[in-house]
Chains A and B, each alone.
Chain A
């Protein structure tokens, strides 16, 4: 029945598809790179369809990539052209260890091979042949090992290296790149083999501005080697569970540090005291750290602080009065803390706040009165709180509000008209079981909405008439079970839709697919648990931008979808059943 019960896991699935769908298929790590690039740059056939005339240069480069076997070397070409050919080969997934050879000695500057399938040590020879011209290399998700890194030592001008998810690189590899002292950016996410010992190599990298060691579990004690990196501005230690208070000490002198992420570490209030003297620190992520409200005292010394994440820190109301001292804050995340309305009083004066997250806090209608003066608020997260309809009146003056999440709250139809004046609103989450058609009717003035989530709401065909007011919708979810094909008629003209989730509406038939066949912008479609059959799939042929298609619990097999993919939906990268 209705989707509300399975909502949270479903949401995760959705994100997974949207952000990681391709990676799951082509690579082991979870980057959104592929999807992101293909979002921003449609394939040639789509481009043709939009009347956007491709330059001859682009046509030639694509032609070369199609006939790549004809070319033995590009080393006589100007480097910017070989760079373009290389990028296109990577983009079109035509680059192989064989075609790579044509790029030997091309003096290329940037080699972005992140998440590219098949990259291993045998590629390093050609990569390093770019010599001093090479400025940045992304080999994240590759099979490259320490041995492969040996090749890079002659690329003395390298500025940026990315080895995220390269689990075969260890301390020895770090040593091999320690001579690349021009490096400004270095990334080794999710590496189990890097330890304090190997991090000694960082002492030579005096020009580092950005260092990313997210999810490296063995680096405790190694940050001492960062002490002299006075140019360091950004340090990401997210999910490094090994990091303790002692590890904070060497950071105390990094006066140029602007962004520090130590979420899910063992850092406590003691560790936070070492950060007091960082005059430029503007972003601090302490999500899930073992701090108490007492740390706010140390943090209030950080005059430049704009972004503070205290999500899941188990903070109680006691001690939160210090929050009132953070008057410059633009973004504050207090989600999943043990705070109540009593805490919100201290937020009253934070008038620069643009984003406030109170997800799953024990706050209710009374507390929201303290937010009425936060006129700059653009984003407010109230999901899973005790907020109900009567509290919404305190939000009605937040004219700049662009995003509001009221999912799993006690809000009902009666309260929604208090939102009708929020004309800046673009994203509204009303995944609330007690919302129905009448509630939707109160929102028709919100014509700027681009994202509307009515996942668990009880919307029926009658209610869909109101959707016609939301012509700008990019994403829409209605999964309460009350929709039939008749209701979908009111969705078929929402021509900007990129994501549409109509799952759990068990009465939808193939007619629905026919109705939405004109929504050519669709990137993601879910009509699971409906009466869709394989016969209806032909209506999807027009949806050339589709990347993700979910039809679980329908009379559709993986083979049916694969057939459609091969003949008509070349961009489809994720589908279920699979």
Chain B
């Protein structure tokens, strides 16, 4: 279940470091939980996302929700103060070469009446 990855120097990277934290990358109605480390760069994250969403890193833009700050590829997560459980918005490049607006759909399940019976699980 636990995958240990080899570093370039051949040493095993302990999973304590490897899974030091996760961030939540959100676009529309989808959330990607991405394991990462504060020392990783924003580009590293985009490369992970590329695997999942089939979009080249150049077509991705990441924005830290809360501050609205656009994350720069060369900077680390720590530089941008991205912490465990942080929410990051993903926007993609449109046909006109511009990036789309941030679009995170919020669930309204807990705005609805919560008196509905809970016994039907």
Which of A's residues lie within 8 Å of B, judged by CB? 76-78
Contact = CB atoms under 8 A, between A and B. Distances in A.
Contacts of A76: 117-119
A78 B117 CA distance: 12
Nearest to A76: B119
Contacts of B119: 76-78
Interface string B26-68: 0000000000000000000000000000000000000000000
A76 B120 CA distance: 9
B115 to A, nearest CB: 10
A166 to B, nearest CB: 35
Interface in B67-121: 117-119, 121
Contacts of A78: 119, 121
Contacts of B121: 78
B119 to A, nearest CB: 4
* Leading 3 A-B pairs by shortest Cβ distance: A76-B119, A76-B117, A76-B118
A77 B117 CA distance: 9
Contacts of A77: 118-119
Nearest to B121: A78
A521 B62 CA distance: 49
B110 to A, nearest CB: 15
Interface residues of B, number: 4
Contacts, number: 7
B95 to A, nearest CB: 43
7 contacts: A76-B117, A76-B118, A76-B119, A77-B118, A77-B119, A78-B119, A78-B121
Contacts of B118: 76-77
A71 to B, nearest CB: 11
A53 to B, nearest CB: 14
B35 to A, nearest CB: 18
Nearest to B120: A76
A77 B118 CA distance: 7
A77 B121 CA distance: 10
B16 to A, nearest CB: 12
Nearest to B117: A76
A333 B74 CA distance: 80
Nearest to A75: B119
A270 B117 CA distance: 67
Nearest to B119: A76
A78 B120 CA distance: 9
B52 to A, nearest CB: 26
A70 to B, nearest CB: 12
B117 to A, nearest CB: 6
B103 to A, nearest CB: 30
B59 to A, nearest CB: 37
A290 to B, nearest CB: 61
A78 B121 CA distance: 9
A509 B34 CA distance: 55
A76 B117 CA distance: 7
A468 B118 CA distance: 58
A76 B116 CA distance: 11
A19 to B, nearest CB: 42
A362 B8 CA distance: 79
A76 B118 CA distance: 7
B48 to A, nearest CB: 26
A364 B5 CA distance: 70
A78 B119 CA distance: 7
A60 to B, nearest CB: 12
A76 B121 CA distance: 11
Nearest to B118: A76
B58 to A, nearest CB: 39
A268 B117 CA distance: 65
B34 to A, nearest CB: 22
A560 B121 CA distance: 51
A78 B118 CA distance: 10
A166 B118 CA distance: 38
A227 B14 CA distance: 70
B108 to A, nearest CB: 22
A67 B34 CA distance: 33
Contacts of B117: 76
A107 B118 CA distance: 16
A82 to B, nearest CB: 11
A106 to B, nearest CB: 11
A402 B23 CA distance: 56
A77 B119 CA distance: 5
